[in-house]
Structure 1
Amino acid sequence: MTHQSTAKDGISAGYYRLFAAGIINGIGDRFSQVAMLSLIFQLTGSGMAVGLSLGVKLIPYLALAPLGGFLGGKLPRKTVMMATDIARIPFALSFLWVTGEDRLWLLYVGSFMLAAGEAIYAPVRKSSIPLLARRDALLRTNGMEQMLTGCVLILGALTGGFVSHWFGPQTAFVLNAVSFLAAALILSGISFPHTPPEGLGDEDEGLHGTDMAAKAGAGERSSSPKSLPALIAGSVCLQIVLGYELLVSLVSGLDNVLISVYAIRVFNAGDIGVGVFYASLGAGLTLSFWTGRLVKRNLLAAALGGLLLEGLLHIGISAAGSFAAVCGLYVLASLASGIVSASLDTLLMRETPARWQPLLFGLMTAAGSMVLGLSMLLAGYLLTRMEPRLMGLAGGVCFAAIAVVLGAYAWMKDRRGRKVSVLSRTP
């Protein structure tokens, strides 16, 4: 594989364009989301309506994320991403016509269509990363992806809160449409390398400069079964990553809904409070890029330890008595979450042959998003039956329990002689 203008750090110039487009696209989306949630709460005052608005965005992922993975393996990835960006512009502008509770259906339809585009876009973008960075740079690149999310939350959510508060939600909706166009223009400058043919050793590509252990691991996977189910069945590491995706998504919906409810209902901080909480999450994810570089060996242990810590911090959030304390705990919780995500994404990319990555990422996105959407709907319902702090406590306990269960699974497989196949970080 020939990487486009590969730099000394193993990351191509094309990835930096992908990174920049992701920031612009993400900031626009956060502008719109903060404004949308605030508008819904103002019009209805209902936690159920907030949960419905978040949940409906995830429904398209069930069918369209696998389609995105399929398209990513068959069509030029740049073309797919640019097309989905441009197609979402009119739906982003449709939010301008939501002027009362009787027109909320426009918001739900628009959210559904925006999510449909993202469902196709997301797996294509993620499967592009290994094509734009060498294997030994994947952990750093995935750390940058967490920093990207952090920057989006800080610049998008915090600024979006102020924009929505001072200029109205309509301004945020227009800026979201503009961001799609700007991101498409940036993506147009990427030159993706050709994907290796099916029969060639795609796991050997990009190994230049890595150590012999990494090359040996690639050689073992090149002789792995030729079907995706067989690949998953033969890798304990992949099984744990997939288990994490499903189980954590089942709980994350509670936290996603609680962020707005904590800010507006518990602390009476309004739009700006929602933005500050999201900015706190962004600060933690940004910090995870640097703290995550301290993880040099056993990425799986780092991920599960981080998940356990994240659960404990969410328990602390549910009991915190001040707005400032919750902000600080959100910073720490998202820092742990960033390390978890970067570690597991790196393991997933290392363990999965390139030819299977688009489809696997699409299927994971579909399954995780479906579960997350159901979780958000459940959260909206539970908020009509229980206090937000009690729901937050339950979510934190569940995060910690998932870490323990997955750790126990890995330990039992290791005791039975099933190699987990976790590669250390290469220098």
Structure 2
Amino acid sequence: MIRHHSYRFLFYSGIVNGIGDRFSQVAVLTLLLQLTGSGVAVGMALGLRVIPYLLLSPLGGKLADRFHKKWMLVLTDVFRLPFALSFLLVDTKEMVWLVFVGMFILACGEAVYQPVRKSFIATIVDKEDLLKVNGWEQLLLGAVLIAGSITGGLVAYIFGTSFAFWLNGLSFIAAALLVLPLKENRTLSVFDKRESTKRVRWEGWIMFVFAIQLVGATMDGAFNVLISVYGAETFQLGELGVGFLYGALGTGLVASFFFSSKIKSYGLPLCLALLIVEGMLHMIASRMTLFPGLWLTFVSIALTGGVLGAFLDAFLMRNVKAGEEGRVFGWFESWTNVQLGLMMFASGWFLDAFSARTLGMWGGGICITGGVLLLFFYFLFNRKQTFASVEKGSDVSYGNKERKKNDKNQDDG
């Protein structure tokens, strides 16, 4: 499929874009530590990346419903290019302010880019292939996490941070060129533009999926903080331990593609079951005493989370009304990323009073509790047919593809 579907251009562009972003992030954090020697500066730089999602992701989603998504992706890449290269001007402590400005603007571009990308997938991919394509998206994240982080560190170490910044700038140009051959299946009309000005109908099932993602973001916020603490302090392996754990996450995300592509059908109960399993794995990780066991648990966490992410995105893309995809994904990106940032901030404060293992145990417990409660409400409201019609129309069995084709042929006859 990836060889012949137009989605391949979006996939290749995402790989180039993601690896370039990892190059830049590693180099920027290295540069900040060299010039300031302050961990607070690093924390501020990472925190700035979350703020733009609050307002710009909904705006980007709204624009995606009104204008051509391909050109929006090209413009966001071109717009970020000069700011990606602005880091080359930073060579003294007095110029550090430019790093924060550049990081903030790059995050603004990413906040617009993500909902446009997801809504674009929803318009160019057939519903029968959405689960497979969202599995490819998880594979993309894993590949970027592994290749981008490791290669970015090596490039910055061998050739210097300036070379990494140049490569990131070139990645924006390459990513923009790669999406140019893409064509949207649905052309914008006056009716589409008129519909895009109407308010999105926030149906019950959309808010239910949002609740699942919000619980997951709460747990992931704590997890992002724990990765460094587990590797560097709990197991006393320093940067090597942190690198191994990030490699475990990348490995799990890549593996999730092969698992999600084998599953023939799914629904919200399976998504909730995966959320509960992920919470259990976090609790197991908090009790691990051997690093190899922790590494394998991290692989399992990323694998479970990757499959869950593919399911939820495919479910949304299948069922959101045409012309509303951008706004729905824009608000989802906004809410979940802000929740992620707030939880990362809270986890940092939490670690001043409690151990990393306690935080990991509580994070997993929150995930399990949220999953069990949502499962209870699902079966409670499903009796009233709140979700039944949606899930009936969201049958993602790959075997249905031929059946639907035969039905269409009979109708044409």
TM over 0.5: yes
* Residues 1:91 and 2:59 aligned together: no
Partner of residue 379 from structure 1, selected from 347, 352, 356? 347
TM-score of the superposed pair, with normalisation by structure 1:
0.83
Offset of 1:165 from its aligned partner?
4.1
CA deviations on 1:202-224 (whole Å, 9 max, x unpaired) are xxxxxxxxxxxxxxxxxxxxxxx
Matches of 1:362 and 1:151, distance apart in 2: 24
Offset of 1:168 from its aligned partner?
4.1
CA deviations on 1:27-60 (whole Å, 9 max, x unpaired) are 11122223444555675463x5544332210111
Q: 1:276-287 counterparts in 2 under 5 A?
A: 276-287=244-255
Which segment is superposed worse, 22-31 or 378-387?
378-387
The 1:398/1:164 distance shift into structure 2, 3 A limit, reads farther
Which segment is superposed worse, 415-424 or 391-400?
415-424
Give 1:313's aligned residue: 281
Partner of residue 346 from structure 1, selected from 314, 320, 340? 314
Preserved contact between residue 51 and residue 379 of structure 1 (Cα < 8 Å): no
The 1:86/1:54 distance shift into structure 2, 3 A limit, reads same
Give 1:62's aligned residue: 54
Partner of residue 122 from structure 1, selected from 110, 114, 127? 114
Q: How many residues align?
A: 390
Preserved contact between residue 221 and residue 344 of structure 2 (Cα < 8 Å): yes
CA deviations on 1:325-364 (whole Å, 9 max, x unpaired) are 3222111100000110111111111111111111111111
* Residues 1:26 and 2:18 aligned together: yes
Find the residue that maps to 1:316 and give its secondary structure: helix
Identity of aligned residues (%): 38
Partner of residue 425 from structure 1, selected from 381, 396, 399? 396
* Residues 1:82 and 2:74 aligned together: yes
Offset of 1:416 from its aligned partner?
3.8
Give 1:406's aligned residue: 374
Preserved contact between residue 310 and residue 336 of structure 1 (Cα < 8 Å): yes
Give 2:359's aligned residue: 391
Which segment is superposed worse, 67-76 or 134-143?
67-76
Matches of 1:11 and 1:349, distance apart in 2: 22
Matches of 1:309 and 1:152, distance apart in 2: 25
Matches of 1:71 and 1:60, distance apart in 2: 16
TM-score of the superposed pair, with normalisation by structure 2:
0.86
Q: 1:145-224 counterparts in 2 under 5 A?
A: 145-195=137-187
Offset of 1:299 from its aligned partner?
2.6
* Residues 1:138 and 2:109 aligned together: no
Offset of 1:403 from its aligned partner?
1.5
* Residues 1:15 and 2:7 aligned together: yes
Q: 1:320-359 counterparts in 2 under 5 A?
A: 320-359=288-327
Preserved contact between residue 135 and residue 256 of structure 2 (Cα < 8 Å): yes
Matches of 2:88 and 2:225, distance apart in 1: 23
Give 1:216's aligned residue: none
Offset of 1:411 from its aligned partner?
1.4
The 1:330/1:164 distance shift into structure 2, 3 A limit, reads farther
Preserved contact between residue 226 and residue 356 of structure 2 (Cα < 8 Å): yes
CA RMSD of aligned residues (A): 2.6
* Residues 1:264 and 2:232 aligned together: yes
TM superposition outliers: structure 1 runs of 4+ over 6 Å: none
Find the residue that maps to 1:310 and give its secondary structure: helix
Matches of 1:261 and 1:244, distance apart in 2: 26
Partner of residue 253 from structure 1, selected from 213, 221, 225? 221
Which segment is superposed worse, 240-249 or 352-361?
240-249
Unaligned runs of 5+ in 1: 1-8, 201-225
Matches of 1:171 and 1:57, distance apart in 2: 22
Matches of 1:100 and 1:316, distance apart in 2: 45
